[in-house]
Amino acid sequence: MRDRRFSSDLRAALLEASSAFDVGIASIVRDATTAHPPEVLTTIRQDVLSDYAAAAEELSSRVDAVLIEHEFGIFEGDAGDFVLTLARGLTVPLVVTLHTVLSAPSVEQASVLRGLCERASIVTVFTETARRMVVEGGLVDAGGVVVVPHGAPDRLSAAPPLASEPGFTRCPPVVRISDQTRGVLDRLEGRTVLATFGLISASKGLELAIEALPSIVASRPDASYLIAGQTHPEVAKHDGERYRLQLERLVRDLELTDHVLFLDRFLDVEELAVLLARTDLYLTPYASREQIVSGALTFAVAAGCAVVSTPYLYAEDLLQTGAGLLVPFGDGAALAATVLELLRSPARLAAARAEARRIGAGLSWRRVGEATAQVLATAVGEGTESGRRPHRLASSGLNGTVLASRPIGDEGVDLVRLSGPIR
């Protein structure tokens, strides 16, 4: 899933949550000449330390609070420590959202996170597990961290039930859909669909699902596995399409070309809703237990998809009440057996989908926007009652009060969180 989706959705949710908010963006850029949308208050050249200091001064004079959505890889410096110059230079309240929390960060990573958290009025995380980890890790006191879940578009929660459930319709109404996506949907018609979507990288462990597929196909010859999404821009920058080509070679070697489809494009919410509505089982065979949040899994659950996943931290949290089943890391046989177990039991599959829809109802961007707005109002030190002047907020990062943005591929500026994995 593209970073721009998170930040633009969060900004829209904040604006909808309260008329007391005006949300701007601090854009992290590589090319200072790139044109920016009007919501961009200032830009920061990614590798120019003085820009971080200048941005802190400018934002402090123009906004009431700054939200940094932190992710390693966005900021330059040792473990991205340039962001500390921005944080420490602010004279307005700072909220920091941590998009990934590792159980054993490097000394440098821990130092950057500790510096951010010490400067922050409030730290937010996505799950209770992440909250426990940052408190036990000494990054922040228990009273200074708040859980605000990852949001999902309301459009996804309208996904229809399976064919075996009441009210089934195979394809919900859609405003627009690309010819490429339409072609994939046509090929999936009448088939049992397994799917994974999002930014493609080796950390997704997609080869595990492909390796499990021959056993699945032997029992369910109509099974197809859809891998939808572009290569992660940072991966593409350093390694090109090497990982995707490895996956395609594996598909050929296993003689699965009739059963694996690649959709190499960024999907808007309408297209994603259609694809998830066509999905019988959603797979997240991720390779690292340390993943503390997954926007793709959030979206799939919000769409009412039953899930089979490896037991990374976010999957354990989100699926613990029955929206899916977990399999050991690296165990293709267990993945195949679990997929077949659910496909052979329409009642269990329907129950998992029903639980996913129940969980998804609490993940709407409207609710997340309201929760984030309350955090920001608390940080500013006053409520948002009628009669008070609007708060001018800046978000710096992948999703933030200063929603920072950075370039993605050749598409110019994407809105992104200043948050992310501790790597």
3-state secondary structure 255-274: CCCCCEEEECCCCCHHHHHH
The burial class, CB within 10 Å (0-12 / 13-18 / 19+), for 160 is middle
Tell me, yes or no, if the pTM score tops 0.85.
no
Per-residue pLDDT band for 167 (boundaries 50, 70, 90) equals very low
Q: What pLDDT is attached to residue 257? A: 97
Q: What pLDDT is attached to residue 420? A: 28
Q: What pLDDT is attached to residue 232? A: 86
Per-residue pLDDT band for 404 (boundaries 50, 70, 90) equals very low
CA distance 375 to 225: 40
CA distance 349 to 21: 42
Beta carbons within 8 Å of 272's beta carbon, 6+ residues apart? 156, 197, 299, 303
The burial class, CB within 10 Å (0-12 / 13-18 / 19+), for 38 is exposed
Q: Which residue matches tokens 């900004």?
A: 11
Per residue in 297-323, pLDDT (tens digit) is 999 999 999 999 999 999 999 999 999
Per-residue pLDDT band for 416 (boundaries 50, 70, 90) equals very low
Residue predicted with more confidence, 212 or 27:
212
Q: Which domains does the chain have, with CATH numbers?
A: 3-151+364-415 (3.40.50.2000), 154-363 (3.40.50.2000)
- Over residues 390-403, mean pLDDT: 46
Per residue in 350-394, pLDDT (tens digit) is 999 999 999 999 999 999 999 999 999 899 884 334 333 445 555
Does residue 2 register a pLDDT over 80?
no
pLDDT averaged over every residue in the chain = 84
The burial class, CB within 10 Å (0-12 / 13-18 / 19+), for 104 is exposed
- Asked if 187 and 200 count as a contact pair (C-beta separation under 8 A), the reply is no
Q: What pLDDT is attached to residue 158? A: 60
Q: What pLDDT is attached to residue 160? A: 47
- Over residues 159-178, mean pLDDT: 50
Taking the mean position of all CA atoms in its chain, how far away is CA 92?
28
Compute CA distances 152 → 166, 268, 316, 347, whole Å: 24, 13, 18, 26
Reference 301, options 285, 287, 283; nearest CA is 283
Q: What pLDDT is attached to residue 392? A: 55
Does residue 193 register a pLDDT over 90?
yes
Q: For the ranges 37-41, 60-64, 283-287, which has the lowest average pLDDT?
A: 37-41
Reference 420, options 409, 406, 411; nearest CA is 406
Compute CA distances 35 → 3, 27, 43, whole Å: 19, 11, 11
Does residue 168 register a pLDDT over 90?
no
Q: What pLDDT is attached to residue 41? A: 87
Per-residue pLDDT band for 412 (boundaries 50, 70, 90) equals very low
- Over residues 209-228, mean pLDDT: 98
Neighbours of 373 (CB within 10 A): 22
Per residue in 119-154, pLDDT (tens digit) is 999 999 999 999 999 999 999 999 999 999 999 998
The burial class, CB within 10 Å (0-12 / 13-18 / 19+), for 19 is exposed
CA distance 422 to 111: 11
Per residue in 231-266, pLDDT (tens digit) is 988 788 889 999 999 999 999 999 999 999 999 998
User: Torsion over CA of 229, 234, 240 and 242, rounded to 10 degrees?
Assistant: -70
How do strand 391-397 and strand 21-29 relate by DSSP bridges? parallel
Phi, psi of 186, deg, nearest 5:
-65, -40
Does residue 400 register a pLDDT over 70?
no
Conformational region of residue 412, where left means phi above 0, alpha means psi within -120 to 50, and beta covers everything else = left
Q: What pLDDT is attached to residue 163? A: 42
CA distance 171 to 288: 34
Per-residue pLDDT band for 228 (boundaries 50, 70, 90) equals very high
Phi, psi of 19, deg, nearest 5:
-70, -10
Percent of the chain with pLDDT over 90: 64
Per-residue pLDDT band for 268 (boundaries 50, 70, 90) equals confident
Neighbours of 272 (CB within 10 A): 25
- Over residues 104-110, mean pLDDT: 92
- Over residues 265-277, mean pLDDT: 90
Q: Which residue matches tokens 């997609």?
A: 206
Q: What pLDDT is attached to residue 391? A: 54
Per-residue pLDDT band for 401 (boundaries 50, 70, 90) equals very low
Q: For the ranges 70-74, 203-207, 224-228, 318-322, which has the lowest average pLDDT?
A: 70-74
Q: What pLDDT is attached to residue 65? A: 92
Per residue in 322-345, pLDDT (tens digit) is 999 999 999 999 999 999 999 999
